[in-house]
Structure 1
Amino acid sequence: AWYGDPNISYSYSGIAAKPKNWTPLLQNIKILVEQRTGEIFNGVLVNRYRNGQDSVSWHSDDESSLGPDPIIASLSFGQSRYFQLKHKRKEGEKYQLELEHGSLLLMKSGVQKNWLHQAPKTRREVAERINLTFRRIM
């Protein structure tokens, strides 16, 4: 689901999303994320991972509506899951992080331009995870 300021539509993966109004809870979380990161966001993409088979494959958040050098703040709730990065041009340069409940990951300057990232499927028995990715639409 896409939540955001009025008239802040977001298109990704062939999906055009009109914003739902900020809920009081999401608005409060947004304020805390902005205070922690020093960044300003006008929308949040909410993703639910029901189990280990829900995933997101290799991609960059590089849609033109995010500007030339997007900043993305990713906040995780629930089951910990792996988050992987691989460099677009330096073959073999990869990193893996485990995003635990309450983890805040900030992808800043150059990340979307130079790296792909994913939350892969897992065969491990895992519970539900909610991920909030805060963005600034230009």
Structure 2
Amino acid sequence: MPSDAERSTRHAFTSGPVVVRIARSREYLDAVQGEVRVSRWLSRTGFPVTRVVDDLEQPVVVDGHPVTFWHVIEEGPRKPTYGELGAVLRDLHSLTVRKCAVHGEAHVQNLMKEQYGAFVGAYGRDLRGRPGFPSGRTWGR
């Protein structure tokens, strides 16, 4: 007889293209649960977000690893502009949040130099002066 995790895995793949994310260890369980809650909340608000597979109880823990199942995002015909990304972040930050949700705007691969002006125009403010963004203060001024 298959385990609950095996049944969940088979079920997830029958619902369409799915990305399976496997966390490194049980220590990440709280963070993974938070990701699932934030994704579901943003989806309920109508915000364009990567959606978890809703008809599964998530996350599941398999051999000590929290596992989640997400709908695949199909790549569009072009990459979004930094102005478009700024508009999405502006919309995200305009939502009323009950608890703090960090979305990774300071991630090292989120650097933008050539189109930063378009981002600022759409987002509505310059992030370079924000506390906690020291690496952003060294470029673009």
**Shared topology, TM-score over 0.5?**
no
TM-score bracket for this pair, using the shorter chain length: under 0.3
Structure ranking higher in strand proportion: 1
TM-score (norm 2): 0.26
Structure ranking higher in helix proportion: 2
Greater relative CO, 1 or 2 (CA 8 Å, sep 6+): 1
TM-score (norm 1): 0.26
